[in-house]
Structure 1
Amino acid sequence: MMTERWKPTMKPELNDKQITDIFPYLKAVPPEEWMEAKAFTKHFKAKSRIFHREDAAMYGMFLISGTARITIINENGNEAVLNKLSAGEVCSLLVLSGLGGRDYPGTLIAESEVEVLYVLKSSFLRWLQVYEPIRSAVFGGLLEGTLRMADILQERQSLPLEQRLAKALLAVTSDENPLVHTTHQELADEIGSVREVVSRTLGRFQNNGWLETGRGWVKIVNRGCLTEPTM
């Protein structure tokens, strides 16, 4: 029985312009296979969990709009950001775990408002194997996602925490929009640290006059200081 969480909001047609503009390789799927895939789309608000292990047992997914973060639980029991997913991309962990017959090891959390296309897992895996345009595009994205994960892990090992935190804050703000709604725990997950350390570092940044912070928000006051290579 489909829960409210999975109640369809729109049935995509093969020639639906939005979907085929973002995922042109899906034009390879015949109309009858769209019906078999029981495809539907759903909108989620920022910070919603949009995909996890239980979902991956039933569905494959394509991110139509917005951005999401792929998180895993590390050996210390903390949630850590493994990678990012942007509109038009497919989660590399989903592909690898699906083809390998393993449980999906992560969770996808919306960073912004997102729209997601879901199809039955059996259809998702069949399309990867049968249709060359889909296979080529998805595996090309898988390579890019793997390289991006390697960059994130290397950055965590090579950059001091202060620089990782500053970089994360600068990435989600701008001169025009200096305010970001986030928690210290979410920032810790983002940069591979713990909340207490992030809170102390934000406190130092605030004492230096580089930013202001309150419950659930951070406002950048001096971007120039945060972009300095040493702090």
Structure 2
Amino acid sequence: MQDIEVISSRAMEACPYLSVVPSVEWVKAQPVVRKFPAKSRLFQREDAASYGLFLLSGTARISRVAEDGGETVLSRLQAGEVCALFVLSGLSGRDYPGAITAESEVEALFIAKESFLGWLQTHAEIRAAVFGGLLDGLLRIGEQYDGRRSQSLDARLAKALLRTSSEREPLLHVTHHELAVEIGSSREVVSRALRRYRNQGWIESGRGWIRVIHPEQLEALQGD
């Protein structure tokens, strides 16, 4: 069993606003810190009935999963942030409509949902931090939507490839489907574009991986 004092200390490192929570409330919240590898699902509709979640390290994407299994990326979480969809669904009493997937190795704090909603109502510091992050998240969703409408597919795909690669780490462990979900396109369209990049010598690719060879060519696509 994890030590609550250790958990609360770790949580306050990533989320300083949690320092206002007294020890007795930490005990009632039944906190648990869990680590997840990249690409694993850490939160989904079923979990929202019981838990609240604070991201302590790494990055994760928030996506909406349709009834037919289609997935659309809505936003991203950074360390110290809370999913806007969870806050809104919890306060409205509606089902959580999305899922949270790790983009890197992540560490997350889970607490009882009743405690999470109670902290929002009781502690002004937590309320200000969470709702400030909620507003930022909604603004990012709007900016992402506007960007998708105004940018070409090549520009969106180039941005996605460059976002997760660098000169030191040019190798991406990502599938065509995952890229398609991120940029709001289909796997077939993304595969054709990647095939074109590979034929031009800009990337190398194989099953589940892509290596960026000429990032300057991809950077040029973003300016189209």
**Superposition TM-score tier, normalisation by shorter sequence:** over 0.9
Equivalent residue, structure 2, for 1:90: 82
Superposed, which structure 2 residues align to 1:55-204 within 5 Å?
55-74=47-66, 77-204=69-196
Q: Provide runs of 4+ in structure 1 moved above 3 Å.
A: 14-17, 74-77
Following TM superposition, by how much is the alpha carbon of 1:14 offset from its aligned partner in structure 2, in angstroms? 7.5
Following TM superposition, by how much is the alpha carbon of 1:167 offset from its aligned partner in structure 2, in angstroms? 0.4
Query: Aligned pair in 2 of structure 1 residues 12, 65: CA closer, same or farther (>3 Å)?
Result: farther
Equivalent residue for 1:211, pick from 195, 198, 203? 203
- Aligned with 1:112: secondary structure? coil
Partners of 1:48 and 1:30 in 2: CA distance: 32
| Contact in 2 for aligned 1:92/1:141 (Cα 8 Å) | yes
Partners of 2:98 and 2:138 in 1: CA distance: 15
Partners of 1:52 and 1:219 in 2: CA distance: 31
| Contact in 2 for aligned 1:188/1:195 (Cα 8 Å) | yes
- Aligned with 2:91: secondary structure? helix
Partners of 2:185 and 2:67 in 1: CA distance: 13
| Contact in 2 for aligned 1:71/1:107 (Cα 8 Å) | yes
Residue 28 (str. 1) matches residue 17 (str. 2): no
Q: Deviations over 1:57-110 (max 9, x none)?
A: 000000011110111125875211111111111101111111111111000000
Following TM superposition, by how much is the alpha carbon of 1:22 offset from its aligned partner in structure 2, in angstroms? 1.2
Following TM superposition, by how much is the alpha carbon of 1:29 offset from its aligned partner in structure 2, in angstroms? 0.9
Following TM superposition, by how much is the alpha carbon of 1:17 offset from its aligned partner in structure 2, in angstroms? 3.5
- Aligned with 1:81: secondary structure? strand
Q: RMSD value over aligned CA atoms?
A: 1.6
1:178 maps to a residue whose letter is P
Q: Deviations over 1:160-201 (max 9, x none)?
A: 111100000000000111100000000001101110110000
Query: Aligned pair in 2 of structure 1 residues 213, 161: CA closer, same or farther (>3 Å)?
Result: same
Query: Aligned pair in 2 of structure 1 residues 154, 74: CA closer, same or farther (>3 Å)?
Result: farther
Partners of 2:4 and 2:164 in 1: CA distance: 31
| Contact in 2 for aligned 1:47/1:112 (Cα 8 Å) | yes
Following TM superposition, by how much is the alpha carbon of 1:12 offset from its aligned partner in structure 2, in angstroms? 3.3
Q: TM-score, normalised by structure 1?
A: 0.92
| Contact in 2 for aligned 1:70/1:82 (Cα 8 Å) | yes
| Contact in 2 for aligned 1:11/1:41 (Cα 8 Å) | no
Partners of 2:211 and 2:205 in 1: CA distance: 6
Partners of 2:121 and 2:36 in 1: CA distance: 29
Q: Which runs of 5+ in 1 are unaligned?
A: 1-7
1:93 maps to a residue whose letter is L
Query: Aligned pair in 2 of structure 1 residues 75, 162: CA closer, same or farther (>3 Å)?
Result: farther
2:122 maps to a residue whose letter is V
| Contact in 1 for aligned 2:29/2:115 (Cα 8 Å) | yes
Query: Aligned pair in 2 of structure 1 residues 26, 177: CA closer, same or farther (>3 Å)?
Result: same
Q: Which runs of 5+ in 2 are unaligned?
A: none
Partners of 1:15 and 1:221 in 2: CA distance: 42
